Amino acid sequence: MNLPESLIQMGSKRNIMREIREYGLLRAWEVGAEKVLDFSLGNPSVEPPRRVNDFIRELLSGPEAASVHGYTTAQGELGVREKLAASLTRRFGGPYDAGDLYLTVGAAAALCCCFRALACPGDQFILLAPFFTEYTYFITGNGGEPVVVPPDYATFQPDLGALERSITSHTKAVVVNSPNNPSGVVYTAETLSAMAELLRRKAAEYGHPIYLISDEPYREIVFEGFSVPWLPDFYDDTLVCYSYSKSLSLPGERIGYILIGKPVADREALYAAICGAGRVLGYVNAPSLFQRVAAECDGLTADLTVYQTNRDLLYHGLTELGYTCVEPGGTFYLMVKSPEPDAAAFCERAKRYDLLFPPTDDFHCPGWCRIAFCTATETVQKALPLFKKLAAEYGLN
């Protein structure tokens, strides 16, 4: 049988977080769920804001109930986009209007639509490591070539010197994810300002736009002492890809958007190409019920205080035990350096204590591991004594 080899390879390679999650479910059946401390998957552990469920009930029992589940226009219902644009304008400036928004099936679909819309033969998309494991699949599957740039390992901010050396005449876009999955690092205003100046200079040198694609599902999950800059304030040619999966604790409902502001180069053609990408990829329209929920609840968040509590317990607890950690400024992830060169081997050793978390090799950051602390605080508390036993095996502290 003649089938695309690239798709066979993509489908055959398991997502490391989901693989560990499945192991954890099996292990829970064997020893009891309370004994398995699973930090593998970024699945929000807090309920959505009350307004989410209240609004859904109102819609389903109100006069519009018959139309709630119907098709919308491909780019999203006009009234929804108008309401979202007004909310974004209040929160970030702009001004934005309905024509600047394309609603998507979450941030993954937003990214895929951007890559599909932008990629011409030979085009390259720069990824700033560490980055979400699926980025490379999204890019190659939509006709682009990923180019990986390692971070500044002292700060886990982007290494701007390495970025400059990676930009060529084939560079179509740079992908930015801040707050960052998996590191939790928030890119500073100084970093973003310098990056924007670099891209303006390189775009002028090569005579074509170099876009920034800003992947922002963790925008609202930010901890004390940190703030998340609004990237379009720094760089005109920015496409914002957003998801309500984390802020509203709605990962399974798949709702998000692409924001294409007025200053973006070749904006009208690009917007049309994004619409065309959604059509080719078969998205039809973003989920109609949750389009309305997003418009009603934009700017709200779930109760995120548990993430601050868990972050403080885990970061301070692990560093006191002698582990090297990256301080998260946002998200619900923490990166810990493996005490041995092979991070996968460290994760396997941790499994003996039923501590489950992935190495970050697939995030293009070998030698480290990611701990997803979007769990009950009790789970973090139970894990720290086990991390202490694990540390003793390596002679830490």
The answer, as to whether pTM is greater than 0.85, is yes
CB 162 within 8 A of CB 147: no
Q: d(Cα 27, Cα 36) in Å, to the nearest integer? A: 7
- Polymer length of the chain: 397
Going by C-alpha positions, the residue among 223, 225, 210, 257 that lies closest to residue 102 is: 257
Which one, of 238, 221, 126, 121, lies nearest residue 178 by Cα?
Answer: 221
Task: Please compute, for residue 281, the number of CA atoms within 13 A of its CA located in the half-sphere on the CB side.
Answer: 26
| Superfamily covering domain 5-49+303-393 | Aspartate Aminotransferase, domain 1 (3.90.1150.10)
Instruction: Read off the tokens for 28.
Output: 């829970």
Listed in order, strand segments (DSSP E) in 113-237 are 124-128, 145-149, 171-177, 211-215
Main-chain dihedrals φ then ψ at residue 133, nearest 5 degrees: -55, -30
Return the pLDDT at 188. Answer: 97
- The C-alpha atoms of residue 228 and residue 189 are separated, in whole angstroms, by 8
The DSSP 8-state label assigned to residue 256 in this structure reads E
pLDDT at 94: 85
Distance (Å, whole) CA 87 – CA 94: 10
SS3 37: strand
What is the layout of strands, in order, in the sheet containing 171-177?
Answer: 101-104, 256-260, 238-243, 211-215, 171-177, 124-128, 145-149
The whole-number mean pLDDT for each consecutive block of 10 residues of the chain, a chain of 397 residues, reads 86 83 84 90 94 96 88 97 97 95 98 98 98 96 97 96 98 98 98 98 98 98 97 98 97 97 97 98 97 97 96 98 97 98 96 95 96 96 97 90
Strand ranges inside the chain, DSSP E: 37-38, 101-104, 124-128, 145-149, 171-177, 211-215, 238-243, 256-260, 325-326, 333-337, 355-356, 368-372
Q: Name every residue whose Cβ is closer than 8 Å to that of residue 245 and which is 6 or more positions away in sequence.
A: 44, 106, 107, 217, 251, 253, 254, 256
Q: What is the pLDDT of residue 249?
A: 97
Domains in the chain: boundaries: 5-49+303-393, 50-297
Q: Which CATH code fits 50-297?
A: 3.40.640.10
